Each structure stands twice: as C-alpha cells, then as structure tokens.
Structure 1
C-alpha cells in the first residue's frame, strides 16, 4: 500500500508516526509512506532558520508529538532536558550553539522559540523513522503538490514540471495557506504600485522582507493579533532595541533603527494576554455547566440555543472567577461554600448578590468583551491613556498566574471548554441558522480575543513601546485608504486624527477560506469538484455554504460535489475550520487531546483497522 502525506508540519508527522506505530498490528504487508512539503521537515511555521525572537504561544511542557495512549515519548520540555543536546550536536544546524543554550535554559513553563520546536519536530521524524519494521519504507520529498486526480486504483499527485507520484491513499494536512486578495486588499496593492508605496500582503512576518522599512519611517500595521506581535518584535528588538526593567517598570531603549508604527484593528485593543502558568501539566478546570447533563436539560427540539450556550459558558467562567476572587481578596469568606451554593442554585446570580462583592469586583461582561465600551474620550491621546490603563490590569492579572488571578483563571475556561464545544458541534446541537449567523461569526471572534493572545511578556513590551512613542494605537474600527499619494489610516471614532504613511502591513494571517485559497492544490480540487463545501439550510429557507472543505465528520474523508465520500482521500486541519472548531491548535500531552485522537483514527482507517470515531476535529 502506498500512502501520500501532503504536509510535513506537526499534523503530517503525526499521521506518519501513527501509520508506523500501527503498521505491525495491521493486515497490511507492505507500506510505503511519502511525505511532501516545499519546506524541510516541520513545515513553514516551524523553520529552524527563523529568528529565536519569534516565540511559540504555548508553554514547553504543553507541546508534544507523542500520543500517551498509543506510544510514549518526551514533551518539548522533557526533550530539551534529555535528548535535545546530543541530537543538536549530531546535526549540521547553522545556529547549533544557540539551540543548545536555549535547550539548557528552557523551563517547563517557558514559551519556546519557534525554531526550537522545529528542531524537536526534526528529531521526532528521525526518531520514528529509525529501525522501521520490515515491509515499511518512508520517504520525504521536499516539493509542493500542485494537483491531485483520481486514477483507477488510487490517486496521481502532480508535483509540477510534469513530475507525478501515485498513491493508493492520500491525506492532506495543509496548514496556513496564502489567500487571493480581497477587493479592498487588491485596491490597496494597486494603489501602492501606482504611487510607489510598499504594501505587505497577509502572511507570516518572518517570511517578509522588512529591510525596505527604513528607520523612523511611519508604518501602518492593520491587525493586532499574534502575527502583529511578530512584526512588533522584528521591527524593534530585531533592529537592536532593548527592553530594560527598572524598579518594576519595563522601559524600551531604542536603537534608532525602528520605524514609527501606527497599529489598529476593529476592536482597537490587543488580545488578552496568556497568563503565567501555575497548573500541573494537563490540568484543566472541569466543565460544570457546559457539561452533557446541563446541555440536555436545555435542549429544545434536540437543539441548544446560542443564547443558552453563552449563558452556560459564562456560568463556568463566573464560577472560576468568583472562587478565585474569594481565595485572593475575601479571606473572611469560604470559597468552597460559595462554589457549592453556586453549583446547586437554580439562580447563580442570586448567590453572587448574597455575597456582597465590591462593585469593582463584579464580573462586567460588557467591559470584558469590549474594554473600550462607553469610553468618554474625544482624542487619541486620551484613548491611548485609557488603553494603557486597561493593559495595566490585564498585565497584572496575567502576572499573578492562571491559578491565582480571578480574571486570568476565568479566561482559561474558554480554552478548557473547547472539548465540550467541539462535542456540541459534532452532535449538531446548534440549528443551522444559529451556527452560521451567530456561532461562526460572533463566538469565533470572542474566543480568539479572550483565549488566543500572546504571552503576557509581549503585552508588557507593547505597553513600553507605546510609552516610548514607537507604537501608536488607533481607536476602534480602523480603516485604511489610499489617497494623495499615501496610505491613510484612522479610527472611525476619531476620524480627524489620521496618519499618513508610505508602507502598509496587513498583519492578519490569511483566514482559512476555501474559495479564497491561493494554494494550487486546493484550487484545482475545488474546481474539479473533488472538494466541496458543506451546505446548511437557514430558517428563512436560504442555503448557506460554509467556506471549508467538506468532510465526513468522524472520519475526515473528503466529500465531493455530489455529496459522495471519497474513501481513500482525507483532509484535516485548518482547511476544515467551520466544520470543526479551533483546528489551529497544537497537540498537548493529555489523554483527551482531539488532534492526537484524530491522527490515530485517520492512520488506523488507512490501514484498514478498527477505530474510535471521536468526532471532535
């Protein structure tokens, strides 16, 4: 049997590792695995050549490539303290000494440079491909797959230049892909070309040539998520600037090579920071309200309303918030008694009122979801001061830790509840209308804002850069146009205070939208009908197509335009975002990790073995 694995990032390597692990237990006598990727093992995101300044968004002890229920091995932290240095010394890495020093200094709760996880992935590949069982071969081909077509007994993969490979079964593990420009983006790029301006398309900051940006030049950056943090780092510390802690206050010492950055977004504030970790690896808050029993109790015609879903999630978050608040600030109260009363009550809000918390300690969901809501400021200077005040609180909370701070602990619940949320989607608990019109556009945005921010160190750095006047943050609803030979950016709230620049950076990463994808493989498969988009029927009778690759949930087999399952063709990951929830996460060392379960399941399917359908991602 010949299996083609398209993509050599973590997902592709997980598939390969599970195929290898299960091969000897299967009825397959001979297996050839071919892995394809234009980048080295590890893929684009985890290149070992990228600057060590670019940091992962997950702590070292929570990153792994080993499924504890199938085969065991070290997580990233354990590897750094064990196998890392001998492996690095044996390989021909350009920055060998740097990698060794990072491995030596790495702590379990440290956020690791992305290049080091790339080294871990390459070690993992070498580990799983050493001493292969008889009858199994594996080959890595550093090349893009441009197209794929069905042939009599399998598939033919087109690599370009009239080079083809054949396979009986194919699994596509495609990560972040470039998109075609939107109408707004195309207009701005055309304007840049016409007026000799510089326009950076969406994509990873590390892939861009930032040498065109000169010292003290004004640069507009649109987007304030994780990719913005990379741009911020490369344009400041990456140019010789330094952060210095003086009497507990972080200050920025400029090198003189920095540009002047004008940053903005729809919200007008950065994502909430990741708090310092205090939890034992694998621990997460149990789900009390978004559990199966409460969900079933609130079903109406087998569906859970979006309003009730949000209410149950908020109750989970409030329970954690007030329990930690009592432990930290109300020593005369008993946190366990509060928790018991909150869980048993039919009206938890009444329980909160009985405890007479100070007004400033009460949960204000409006302010949490929109920190600048109701601000009575009329200029950007006052807005900047208000944002820094909000950032002060976020930084203080995050520094306290995710098992001490009431707010940081509550925000962790959004991550902890991902598994029950995935179950709701897999069980079709939302109506098509509410899923399309409320969950996808509203909750996705809320989830990212509350739970997918950068480590707290970066918000602290952003605050220092704002104080140093290196970065200016615009108000909410940023918009950018080309006019009078420049890019012009302003907030809809403060339109009279606009900024002109000759460089515009789109700091958002391309959204996983199948019809926008500029990936030749996805484009060709969508065009010939091999890939399709799932259709949902709204309450008004209209049909809506989710902009994701349609797969059979629980098997990840591709469903074509005729709604037929392609039994030997699989796709999973970001390309299916919308069918599944939060497909961008990395594997975690826990027995319930959805990504590890999915890799195990897909591998067993391809080998013709029995498998459990977890239906989570």
Structure 2
C-alpha cells in the first residue's frame, strides 16, 4: 500500500537476513524503474545494521565462523533475481581487502589487517571479521540506494507490532510507534525461556550461591565469573562448546604449538579453569574435512539426485522421509564409504566387492538394504564395515571403568577424527559424511514447503536424522578438534560421558554430573555453563515481540501431526507458501506481514545458514537450465518478499 506517495516498510532485525531484505527491496525497485513514489525502509535493531548482534565487530577475535571464507554471502548471484546495486561475497571482499592492504590503502585496524593477510579462501574467519564485511556491505548498499529510496536505522528493540486501519504500528521499547505498510520479520536468533530442568538448576544455584550461566551467545557471557583452577561443568559439546573452550584457555593466555608428530600441544597460562564437558553422545561434533571446496569433488550423488528427490512432488505425491528419501541418500552414503575404502585400502575388501555392492544398491524396493548388508559382511574386513548410526554415537554400548578410562577413549576418538579430516578425500568415514553433507543440500529443497508428510517431518527428518547429520556434518573446523585433544592431554579438559545426568547437591552445595555408562566418581562443581544455543522454538521465545504477536493472534505456530496423529505446535511460525506471509490465529494470511529466516523452521529445514556465496552443482544436475540453486534460498526468499511488497508478484 502506498499512501501520500510514500511506501513504508519496516524490517525488524538488522543482521544478515535484515540486510538481505533491504538489499533486495532496493535492487528490485531499481530494476522496476522509476515508480514515482518514495520507498522508506526503517530497520529496527539495537545493534549496528549488517553485523547485528551475532556478527558484531567488537566480539573476541578467537570466535571463528563455522564455514570457510569462500562460502558465505548476503549478496545474490543466482540468475533470475534483480541485479545487486552493490556488494559482493565475503570471499571477494576478503580478496579485495588483501589487495588494498598490499597497496597500503586499507582503512582497517592492525588486528583485522593481520587476520586478512593470513586468511585464504579455505580458512575459517573470525566472526568479528565477517561482521566487518557485513558492516561495509551495508554501507555500500546505502551509498548505492536510488534517490527516491530512504533507509533509516532505529537502534532499538521492537516491543510490539500491531494492526492499524492502514497497515501496522511498530512500537519500540521506548514506547514510540511508527507506521508501516509492510513488516518483514527478520529476527534471527532470539532468546528463549529456560526449560524446566534449566529453571530448577538456575533457581537452586541462586539460593545456594552457585554460578549458573544459561544458554547465550558466547560473546554475551561474562567469562570472568569462572575462576582459574576450579572445575567448571559445561553442558553441550556442539559448536558453542568450542567457543567456551577456546575463550577459557587461549583466551586466558594459554598457547597451542605444533608437536613433532603433527599434533598440537598446549601450554597453560595458569589462569584456566578445569573444563569438564558433557553431552548426550559424550563426544563433540566431528570436525570438518579439510578440503578446498565446500563439497568433496569426488562425491557425486548417484541415487539421491535432485531429479529423484523431487520426483514424488512433481508427481503429486507427498513422500515419506524414511521410506522414500532416506533410502536413496543411504545408498549414496554407503557407496561413498566403500568406494573410498576400496581405493585407499584395497586389502580391506575382497575381489569384486564393489561390483557386487553396486548390484545390491541398484535393487529397487526394500530388499536392497539387507542385500547390501550381506555383501558388506561377506566382502569387507569386520573392523572396516560401516555402521552409520555408530558414527554418530561412538561411545554407545561401551562402559568406562572410571572417568580416566573414558577420557582416554574420547582422546583416541578426537585424534582419529582430526587425522581423518587431514586425510580429506582419502578417508572413507569422512567421505560417507561428505555424501550426507552433499545430500543435505538436495534434501533441503525436497522437504521445503510441505515436501514430505508431517509425520515423517516430525519423527524422521527432525526426529532422528537431524541429530545424526548435525553431529557428523555440521561440526567445527578441524583445528578445534586438534585443540580439544591437546587440552585433554594437558589435563585442562575432561568429559562426563554419554547421557549425562545433572543434579544439585544441597548438603555441600554443588552441581553434580554423572553418566550411567561411566563408573565413579561423579563430577562436582560450583559452576555450570550451558553451552547450548537458545532454542529456536517460537512458543518458547523470550522475545516480547514474538510473545505479543502470538498473544494478539497476529501469528501462530505451525502445528504438525506426529506418529500418533495428534497435531502439536512445531518450532516455527505458520506461513503461506512463498513469499511467506504470516498466518493469523484463524489461519488467514496477514497481508503485509512477512517472515524471513529462522522462524521458517517449520516449513524449511536447515534455516541456520543464511546463504552460500555460490551455487554448487553436482555434475549433470541443473535447474531450469541454470546452476543448482540450493545455496541461496534465504536470498531468494528475500527477493520474493521484496517483489510482493513492491507489487510485482512472484
């Protein structure tokens, strides 16, 4: 809606997704031609637009991105979208900045210049450096904005979005309301309420004088509350754990160095606490494979191709993840492992094994799986047979006599994982994971927007597969695994064991942690850190804005039915098909209210990553004559929203 010659758009959230929303609005408008009206965009975020909160430039430099330099972008490159007015990928920005440093024309500080000088395309940048890219991209977009477009930043949190007769009223924490004809919710990560067991721990800690640090972004935590020399329990061994680990060690003056055997050694500063880590699996996520590309070049999906994954949808069939999609990806995973094994360890397989396996995998219907298992049993050395589920739970079924026995096992796991990362495409396990990783891109497109049954979304994709593939394929840079091993050798890091149980000892106040798979003693500490990201579940959000939208009935959670057929609220908001207008409490589209990013987790899988810098095509795969488009889904969503706001349709 345009009133008085001005179209007002509110973008709530100024991080990468909010930046992309602004960039697409300006680019689409420019491509549209002079409309004779003014476009007024207001971005609401208490942090600087571009970096937002997560990528702010002032955070510790030790916090690394989980993706290499060549991967991320906020600027689209896919055909079919309006040409960007400014900006480029992070890697292109990195290369240009390095050239400017060499020419003595770089305006960055010495720390950032040093980081850029040693950072190559396959390196993992500090998050603060990516924030610098976002800040400069934001400014470049503003500088390129046409004269009939105005972009403003309101450095405040939005407390409420309400309907008005003409559109929306956007009210900030200060109480001031501003009008908007359209609102884009680009909220990113929002704080969540504590779960029941977390509330018990937090309340008990307050009463007993213990220190409990709830889930939070690592850059927001006061780490000085954890004293040197004391045991500190850390719950969670995913990506946040490694931020905790490095902040409490290298961040306190410790030093890593290379040993003659290629492993790392750690020299303590004396200011470290003793970190004792716990997680359901008892081990951290596996480290990323060391490659010069995002996908292993040797991995080509033979069964789980894009055409095969989308065939049911194109035929008007709603497939099941477990029955229709997973068997195809499972075949590719087995082939990736065993074909690599036969190449690098031919002595581990019998003559003609790969041909027999190929025949088994080609069998249609459910008979392929037991046949392939029999071929592997007869043709592969027992110690080299693939147990895919065991990869995700390497301590499953194993009992440790005590925690020293456990830590020796975990250390061996870390060393082997780091060695596998270094072997790259010559490591069978890492190539099995590479097939899962490659297939995940296909899967994201196949399951989006009702691509599979609700039951299999809940029980299959989100129920068991997500945890497996996250632990295997979404891990940290291999460096972090090597560092954790060094810290365990130095006695700075230990572990609790699988399926940990946490409680409070009120007689001698302390947090306690134990594992049913590990003998005594239990771990005791007056300090507990939740190394978990806040839950991305809209119904558990601690955001005043989301809570108000839900209470007002302007949005609702999406309900999905599980195996029992009972609909339950899912993690994300209920929305229309793209451009993702919010659905109100009665299931009616709210014209002018759009959702972009993480709160689409009920209709898109894998919303945490905003966009890849390039599209990565498997050989022979294409999309309407263009490269395979899996990587820039968020940017395409932002483009669709911009087109709808500007009245151009899909």
TM-score (norm 2): 0.87
Alpha-carbon distance in structure 1 between the residues aligned to 2:426 and 2:638: 35
Q: Are the counterparts in 2 of residues 282 and 590 from structure 1 also a CA contact under 8 Å? A: no
| Contact 1:37/1:144 (<8 A) preserved | yes
CA distance in structure 2 between the partners assigned to 1:207 and 1:539 by the alignment: 39
Aligned partner of 2:482 in structure 1 is 460
Equivalent position of 1:519 in the other structure? 543
Moved more, 27-36 or 124-133: 27-36
Residue 542 of structure 1: CA displacement? 2.3
Deviates more, 1:404-413 or 1:1-10: 404-413
Alignment-derived partner of residue 54 in structure 2: 45
Higher mean C-alpha displacement, 48-57 vs 319-328: 319-328
Aligned-partner Cα distance in 2 for 1:114–1:7: 18
How far the C-alpha of 1:599 sits from its partner, in A, is: 1.8
Unaligned runs of 5+ in 1: 612-617
Query: Which digits, 9 at most, give the CA deviation of each residue in 1:362-408, with x for residues without a partner?
Result: 2112321210123243322222112222222211111112x332221
Secondary structure of the 1:546 match is strand
Structure 1 distance, partners of 2:634, 2:296, is: 15
Q: In structure 1, which of residues 559, 562, 586 is the aligned counterpart of residue 583 of structure 2?
A: 559
1:317 is aligned, of 333, 337, 354, to 333
TM-fit CA distance, 1:334: 9.6
Distance 1:132 1:476, change over 3 A: same
Task: State the alpha-carbon separation in 2 of the partners of residues 536 and 504 from structure 1.
Answer: 35
Q: Distance in 2 between matches of 1:380 and 1:342?
A: 43
Mapped pair 1:26 → 2:32: yes
Selected match of 2:408 from 377, 385, 388: 385
SS in 2 for 1:389: helix
Q: In structure 2, what is the equivalent of residue 425 of structure 1?
A: 447
Partner of 2:291: 277
- CA–CA distance in structure 2, aligned partners of residues 130 and 328 of structure 1: 54
Does the Cα contact within 8 Å between 1:77 and 1:106 map onto a contact in 2? no
Structure 1: distance between partners of 2:276 and 2:94: 38
Aligned to 1:615: none
CA–CA separation in structure 1 for the residues paired with 2:57 and 2:318: 49
Distance 2:649 2:378 in 1: 53
Task: Measure the CA separation in 1 of the matches of 2:545 and 2:192.
Answer: 13
**Following TM superposition, by how much is the alpha carbon of 1:122 offset from its aligned partner in structure 2, in angstroms?**
0.7
Q: Is 1:9 the equivalent of 2:15?
A: yes
> What displacement does 1:110 show?
0.2
Quickly say closer, same or farther: Cα 1:17–1:295, change in 2 above 3 A.
closer
CA contact (8 A) 1:323 1:338 kept: no
The equivalent position to 1:254 in structure 2, one of 233, 250, 268, is: 268
Greater CA drift, 112-121 or 573-582:
573-582
Match for residue 209 of structure 1 among 204, 216, 222: 222
Structure 1 residues 434 and 169: alpha-carbon distance in aligned structure 2, compared to 1, 3 A threshold: same
| 1:344 Cα deviation after fit | 4.3
Alignment partners' CA distance in 2, 1:488 and 1:134:
62
Q: How does 1:158-237 map to 2 (within 5 A)?
A: 158-237=171-250
Q: What do the CA deviations read for 1:150-198 (whole angstroms, capped 9, x no partner)?
A: 1112111111222111111110111111111222111111111111111
Please name the residue that 1:106 is paired with: 119
Secondary structure of the structure 2 residue equivalent to 1:497: coil
Q: Which moved more, 1:435-444 or 1:58-67?
A: 435-444
SS of structure 2 residue aligned to 1:38: coil
Structure 2 match to 1:329: 345
Distance 1:460 1:550, change over 3 A: same
Most deviating of 494-503 and 580-589: 494-503
Q: RMSD over aligned Cα, in angstroms?
A: 2.8
**1:324-359 CA distance string (max 9 Å, x none):** 223323399899978975764554717954993333
User: What SS does structure 2 have at the residue aligned with 1:434?
Assistant: helix
On the 8 A contact 1:84/1:120 being kept in 2, the answer is: no
Q: Provide closer, same or farther for how the CA distance between residues 547 and 589 of structure 1 changes in structure 2, counting only shifts above 3 A.
A: closer
1:126-162 deviation per Cα after TM superposition (whole angstroms, max 9, x unaligned): 1111132231111122211111101112111111222
Question: Structure 2: how far apart are the matches of 1:354 and 1:372?
Answer: 22
Between 1:265-274 and 1:550-559, the stretch displaced more is 550-559
CA-CA distance at 1:36 after TM superposition:
1.2
Change in Cα spacing, 1:377 to 1:300, as seen in structure 2 (3 Å) is farther
> What secondary structure sits across from 2:256 in the alignment?
strand
CA distance in 2, matches of 1:545, 1:439: 16
The counterpart of 1:438, out of the listed 456, 460, 464, is 460
User: 2:287·2:477 contact (CA, 8 Å) conserved in 1?
Assistant: yes
CA contact (8 A) 1:488 1:501 kept: yes
Q: Does 1:66 align with 2:90?
A: no
SS of the counterpart of 2:66?
strand
Contact 1:214/1:259 (<8 A) preserved:
yes
Residue number in structure 1 paired with 2:151: 138
Q: For residues 7 and 300 of structure 1, what CA distance do their matches in structure 2 show?
A: 37
**Is 2:634 aligned against 1:595?**
yes
Q: Secondary structure at the match of 1:494?
A: coil
Structure 2: how far apart are the matches of 1:282 and 1:459? 20
Q: Quick one: distance in 1 between partners of 2:208 and 2:563?
A: 48
For the Cα contact (< 8 Å) 1:87–1:123, is it kept in 2? no
Structure 1 residue 360 corresponds to structure 2 residue 383: yes
Q: What CA deviation, in whole Å up to 9, does each residue of 1:188-214 have, x standing for no partner?
A: 111111111111010112211111211
For structure 2, the residue ranges without an aligned partner over 5 or more in a row are 1-6, 616-628
Partner of 2:166: 153
Number of residue pairs the alignment of both structures matches = 608
Supply the distance in 2 between the matched residues of 1:283 and 1:152 (Cα, whole angstroms): 56
| Gap change, CA 1:109 and 1:146, over 3 Å in 2 | same
What is the DSSP-based 3-state SS (H/G/I as helix, E as strand, rest coil) of the residue aligned with 1:138?
strand
* Number of the residue aligned with 1:398: 421
Instruction: Give 3-state SS (helix, strand or coil) of 1:548's partner.
Output: strand
Given that 1:558 and 1:569 are in contact with CA atoms closer than 8 Å, whether structure 2 keeps it comes out as: yes
What is the TM-score when the length of structure 1 is the normalising length? 0.92
Deviations 1:313-332 (A, max 9, x none): 22121222222223323399
- Asked if the contact 1:8/1:35 (under 8 Å) is kept, the reply is yes
